[in-house]
Structure 1
Amino acid sequence: MCAPDRCDARFGGRLVTDQYRADDVSLAAPAIAAPGTVQRLSARSLVVDPIKRLGTFALPLAAAFVISGHFTVDRAAYYGLAGGLLSIAYSLIRWATFRYALHDNRLDITSGLLARKSRSIPLDRIRGVDLTASPMHRLMRLVVVRVDAAAGGTGRADEGVLDAVTAAEGARLRRLLLARRSAAPAADAEAPEVAQVPGRDDQPRTVLARVRRSWFLMSPLTGAYLFAPLALLGTIWGWVAQSDTIGQRQVQGAAAWLVADPWLVGFAALAFLVLGFPIASVAMTALLNWDFTVRGTPDALELERGLLTRRHVTLERRRLRGWELVEALPARMVRAGRLRALVTGIGAESHHSRAELLPVAPVERAYALAVTTVGARPETLTAHPRAALRRRLFRAIVPWTVLAIAAFATGAPEAGVPLLALALLGIPLGVDRYRSLGHAYDGELVSVRGGSWSRRTVVLQRRAVVGWQVRQTIFQRRQQVATLVVGVGAGSGGYAATDMDADSVATFAHEVTPRWLAPFVSEEATPAEPTR
């Protein structure tokens, strides 16, 4: 067991499918196995697993047959039968050799035939229990259980995966793992002594926000999944590069066609850019965030989303440390953005997927949800010095101007004119980047804002601050500015207030954490810049 002030801070939200919620009547009372009972995966996984594994290489194999010109019905049937038998045999061996057992203080998982692998996950190291179900799993009433353990590493190496168990068994495991984990001493000194199980069936649920379908049309402006078509282009390019039937003659013919009719090619590329990217962005956003709903209980937030695979994320309120609003430059024209919660115990890799409160929404709706769930919205931010404006104008204008002068000097005005236009566009961009800068502290919440192409407003609770870092380059020292990074145990781990007045950096940090910075601050505090 861990100390009362350290145990739960490492743990994060859980992900479960909506179809198999713990309060489902059919799953309310699954059979209870005695602690330490060795169990197998569901036998129904022998139906899903071979199909899933066969599908991973069936399409590439069929494409290889077609491209090579050796495709015949008999050959396809032969290889298909062989692949099916191998998939069934592999799945059967995997099912027969896989065991798991839930003890009072750990979860044991054993698998493998030739290379035996055993793993023991202490319950007080569990950060989250995820239940996911693909359409095939949902058809067979199965779920995949992923136990995310705080093992100090990254990726799936820190997970215990049970693929797959029945929906009732998955609900039972999730309930027991979270109940026993919550029974451990609370992580926070300010947390209640008796921890409750988030998402209990007897807790009232209130709908705090629901994403409207019309909001998906704003997703291309927020940058969400905007570059999804590039994945398709990459797949096509890889197929062409690996194809033996497309040789030098075909490539030369395609190049000649492009040169012969460049206007048609340009029109097609423009149509793909204007139509393909936004349509793909809207489709992906709707697929992953269909019927996105935020519900609140006294001690947790429940997020439900997904069209094909319904997902249910539970975030404990006692682990919420702040929120982050991301506004892309195009989205700011329609006042739209994305809202994320800053939660302790969730790694930076899964922060964007697990802690997303609103994937796309009007800014005022995002602010309203942030205030309801975490804390107040900052009314004003302290402006950064004029030196920050000069630095942004210099970086936005001077490089393009130098290139434009070089182009005109070398007799290439056709290149100089666009470069000069970019230099002129740098003026409003630099001003906007400066106006986006700001920081504030109201006695409870620390606020930091910055960025232009993607403006980020971060509001943190004071107790979330775990450290400070001051950065100052040689160019910043000449302008007497510095960057103050707020270290936190949530989200990305640190958020920067760029180009603050160098004399007020220590004063601001001392105002938030006076005991830490007392030796570095004089008795006469430096006055802050005027607010806007």
Structure 2
Amino acid sequence: MSLSPPHPAEVQASRDAPATTWHRLSVRIIWVDLVISIVSIVPPMVAIWGFGIDVSAGQIWPLIALAAFGVLGAVADGLRWVFTRFRVTPTYVELKTGVFLRRHRSIQRDRIRSVDVEAKLRHRLARMRVVNIGAGQQASAGESALSLDALSAEDARRLQHSLLSAVEGPAEVLEASVDSELSSQHRRTTAQDGAGHESPAAAPEADEPLRIFARFEPSWCIYNMFTIWAYVLALGLGWGALWLLSTVGVDLYGFVVGLLDWDSIGWVGTTLIAVVVVGALGAVGLGINYFAENWNFELARIRSRDGTMLRTRRGLFTTREVNRDENRIRGAQISEPVLWRWMGVSDTSVLTTGLDVWSMSEPAAILPRGPISRTREVAGQVLGDPENPFHAHLRPHPWRALRRRLWWAGGLTVGLGALLTWLAVSDVLPYEVIWATAAFGPASLLAAVLAYRALGHTITDRYVITRSGLLSRATTVLQRSSVSTIVIRESLLQRRLNLRTVSTMTAAGQGGYDTPDIERRQSLEFAVQAAPGLLDPFLVPDR
């Protein structure tokens, strides 16, 4: 994502700033890519020379494509190292990159809101880190404001500390802290003076946490194993194993077919065995993935330049550290998936401006999937309110909200039955499929009841608290002072039932949070209390 062009005054200020040296990324990335290229070429060579596989047979081409992908990736990293420069001045962080399309991007240091450090396995083996510098932007493209891939581990930590520390050092200290080529020599000559004392130029240690809210919990593994993604993971691993073994002449499918007499078991037994086995393999895979992703997890509050930051650390093979400016946190949300609600499973995230809520890396998530009782406690502590808002009593919604959902369930059931009947009469489907309506009807009515029971809302001194959702019941706690817009709407069916939906809009999180099916007379009162003073110019006193 490219930043908007700077103001002419900012350009002039940047020109007037003291000149600092442009630096390269760590040269270790070249050696790592060389090793990756060699490793990528080994599998096809072993398959051709070791197993005697013919290249024209077609089975070896996926391995050749994988080797080509690894070599091209290494070449791209080498070009990126050659054409990438960065520097840190007292007022700006600047980055120049690009081979055919050159880009020069910069961030004012006083606008930096996060400096995240990430390391994949190859980075950790070479003692390198990826530094992502964010300026509070909504990264809809999944790209941080500035990304330095990769610095040495020492330089990455020193750069993070200098950008987030409460006191900004002089330009020469910052330059010394990020100079990859001279960092080791600089530290040997300036870390200690003649009396053995630490000199002012030496970078301080990493920030110690002011408070630790949560650490890694091995028992939470059970909450992360039973999801629908277990089947997706198992099928993906099965297909990969089938393809890999087939390249060396091993028939995995024939081996599985020969284990049992599938004809005597029947299609019902075969389906049950497949569901159980695939689900078990996927659950084991998700359990291993939980330990790999969340090993050494820690949620803590640390000091920053503008106050405090909420920091999470996690990862066994790929480590990731995310820092969130607490001045930009506007609330929190706890979601409970419907199929695992009986286990007390919940996901916890914070509502923060400048974080991409749709990113696969989930920067807004502050806890792994865990028990609802524990996540409520931690989320309340993060918000810092004396009375935990997640323990507040929610006001139920009127029975007309249940009637609306029952109408929708009945309408969908009738529509599905009519569609299946028309397809059966047209000889597109057999008449037996009409019985699917008999199963869909009770399921839709049950879903309507569950969706109604999920409704609730209340307002405290500081927060708007709302709860709704069928597939994932979400309890949202939003600061009243952060509400920028109120939207009140009603559909045709809601109008007949005297119901309305009130949406509180904010710059944090998803941007807006709905409180559906409030009684019409209470909707305006709720909207006025949710955003104090926002609707006053539009209110007309009752006669």
For the superposition of Structure 1 and Structure 2, which TM-score range results when normalised by the shorter chain? Answer: 0.7 to 0.9
CA distance in 2, matches of 1:268, 1:78: 36
* Residue number in structure 2 paired with 1:384: 397
Of structures 1 and 2, the one with the larger relative CO (CA 8 A, separation 6+) is 1
> Unaligned regions of 5+ residues in structure 2, if any?
1-17, 170-203, 248-260
Structure 2 Cα separation of the partners of residues 128 and 64 of structure 1: 49
**Residue aligned with 1:373, SS:** helix
- The one-letter code matched in structure 1 to 2:464 is V
The CA distance in 1 between the partners of 2:366 and 2:47, in whole Å, is 41
Q: Which residue of 2 aligns with 1:285?
A: 290
| Higher mean C-alpha displacement, 381-390 vs 408-417 | 408-417
- In the other structure, the counterpart of 2:407 is 394
Tell me which of 136, 141, 164 is aligned to 2:127: 141
In 1, Cα distance between equivalents of 2:497 and 2:70: 68
The residue type equivalent to 2:336 in the other structure is: E
Q: Is the 8 A contact 2:132 2:144 kept in 1?
A: no
Cα 1:70/1:477, change in 2 over 3 Å: same
How has the CA–CA distance of structure 1 residues 235 and 397 changed in structure 2, closer, same or farther, with 3 Å as cutoff?
farther
| Residues 262-292 of structure 1: per-residue CA shift (max 9 Å, x gap) | 4575345323543234333333333212232
User: How far 1:99 sits from its partner (Å)?
Assistant: 1.7
Residues 1:353 and 2:337 are matched in the alignment? no
Q: Which residue of 1 aligns with 2:104?
A: 118
Query: Aligned-pair distance for 1:520?
Result: 4.1
SS in 2 for 1:39: coil
| Matched AA of 2:366 | L
Structure 2 residue aligned with 1:270? 275
- Secondary structure at 1:345 match in 2: coil
Query: Cα 1:62–1:131, aligned 2, differ >3 Å: closer, same or farther?
Result: farther
Alignment deviations for residues 223-271 of structure 1 (CA, whole Å, 9 cap, x no partner) = 677643455578799x89xx9xxxxxxxxxxxxx999974575345323
- 1:372: how far off? 1.1
Matched residue SS, 1:274: helix
Change (3 A) 1:57 1:505: farther
Distance 1:476 1:225, change over 3 A: farther
Structure 1 Cα separation of the partners of residues 503 and 291 of structure 2: 35
Alpha-carbon distance in structure 1 between the residues aligned to 2:166 and 2:96: 21
SS at match of 2:32: helix
User: Aligned partners of 2:360, 2:205: CA distance in 1, in Å?
Assistant: 24
After superposition, the C-alpha distances for 1:182-224 in whole angstroms (9 at most, x for unaligned) are 99xxxxxxxxxxxxxxx98465543322242121112244667
Does the CA contact (< 8 Å) of 1:212 and 1:291 recur in 2?
no
Secondary structure of the structure 1 residue equivalent to 2:394: coil
2:350 is matched with: 341
Aligned to 1:162: 148
Amino acid at match of 2:309: A
User: Is 1:498 aligned with 2:516?
Assistant: yes
Identity fraction in percent = 27
Tell whether the 8 Å contact from 2:231 to 2:278 is kept in structure 1 after alignment. Answer: no
Q: Which has the higher mean CA deviation after the structures are superposed, 436-445 or 402-411?
A: 402-411
Q: Decide whether the 8 Å contact of 1:222 with 1:328 is kept in 2.
A: no
Q: Is the alpha carbon distance of 1:315 and 1:112 closer, same or farther for their aligned partners in structure 2, counting shifts above 3 Å?
A: closer
Question: What SS does structure 2 have at the residue aligned with 1:349?
Answer: coil
1:308 maps onto 2:294 in alignment = no
Query: Any gaps of 5 or more consecutive residues in structure 1?
Result: 1-33, 184-198, 244-256, 526-532
Task: Supply the distance in 2 between the matched residues of 1:61 and 1:415 (Cα, whole angstroms).
Answer: 53
Alignment of structure 1 residues 228-267 onto 2, 5 Å: 228-229=233-234, 231-232=236-237, 262=267, 266-267=271-272
Structure 1-normalised TM-score?
Answer: 0.73
Shift in alpha-carbon separation, 1:221–1:76, aligned structure 2, 3 A: closer
**Which residue is 1:47 aligned to?**
31
Using the alignment, how far apart are the partners of 1:36 and 1:268 within structure 2?
66
Other structure's SS at 1:170 match: helix
Q: Does 1:108 align with 2:113?
A: no
Secondary structure at the counterpart of residue 476 of structure 2: strand
**CA spacing shift, 1:57–1:181, aligned 2, 3 Å:** farther
Alignment check: 8 A CA contact 1:145 1:163 kept: yes
Relative distance call for 1:452 and 1:157 in structure 2 (3 A) is closer
> Paired residue for 2:476, among 458, 461, 477?
458
User: Is 1:480 the equivalent of 2:464?
Assistant: no
**What is the deviation of 1:432?**
1.6
Write the distance in 1 (CA, Å) between the matches of 2:360 and 2:510: 8
The offset of 1:92, in angstroms, is 4.7
Structure 1 residues 400 and 110, CA gap change in structure 2 (3 angstroms): same
Q: Say if 1:305 and 1:427 are closer, same or farther in 2 by CA, change over 3 A.
A: same
Residue number in structure 2 paired with 1:373? 382
Give the 3-state SS of the residue equivalent to 2:214 in structure 1.
Answer: strand
The C-alpha deviation readout for 1:361-406, integer Å capped at 9, x for no partner, is: 2111111111111132242112222221011112223322454477
> In the alignment, is the contact (CA less than 8 A) between 2:409 and 2:441 conserved in 1?
yes
Q: In the alignment, is the contact (CA less than 8 A) between 1:133 and 1:142 conserved in 2?
A: yes
Check whether the contact 2:346–2:372 (CA below 8 A) recurs between aligned residues. Answer: yes
Most deviating of 310-319 and 449-458: 310-319
User: What is the alpha-carbon distance in structure 1 between the residues aligned to residue 153 and residue 433 of structure 2?
Assistant: 63
Tell whether the 8 Å contact from 2:114 to 2:324 is kept in structure 1 after alignment.
Answer: no
Q: Is the 8 A contact 1:287 1:306 kept in 2?
A: yes
Offset at residue 352 of structure 1 (A): 6.8
Whole-angstrom CA distance in 2 between matches of 1:62 and 1:462:
64
CA contact (8 A) 2:211 2:301 kept: yes
SS at match of 2:438: helix
Structure 1 pair 62/127, CA: closer, same or farther in 2 (3 Å)? farther
Q: Partner of 1:108: helix, strand, or coil?
A: strand
Q: TM-score under structure 2 normalisation?
A: 0.72
**Contact between 2:109 and 2:163, CA under 8 Å: does it hold in 1?**
yes
Q: Which residue matches 1:214?
A: 219
Aligned residue pairs total 462
Distance 2:464 2:47 in 1: 55
Structure 1 residues 372, 223: CA separation in 2 closer, same or farther (over 3 Å shift)? farther
Provide closer, same or farther for how the CA distance between residues 90 and 436 of structure 1 changes in structure 2, counting only shifts above 3 A: closer
Residue 413 of structure 1 and its aligned partner are, at CA, apart by: 6.5
Q: Name which of 436, 446, 450 aligns with 2:464.
A: 446
Counterparts in 2 of 1:346 and 1:67: CA distance versus 1, 3 Å: farther
Deviation at 1:70, TM superposition (A): 3.3
Residue 496 of structure 1 deviates from its aligned partner by 0.7
**Letter of the aligned partner of 2:446 in structure 1?**
P
Instruction: Find the aligned partners of 2:347 and 2:401 in 1 and give their Cα distance.
Output: 27
- For the 8 Å contact 1:221–1:330, the answer to whether it is kept is no
Aligned counterpart for 1:470 among listed residues 475, 485, 488: 488
Once residues 281 and 71 of structure 2 are traced to their aligned partners in structure 1, the CA distance between those partners, rounded to angstroms, is 40
Structure 2 residue aligned with 1:171: 157
Equivalent residues of 2:134, 2:144 under 8 A apart: yes
Deviation at 1:450, TM superposition (A): 0.4
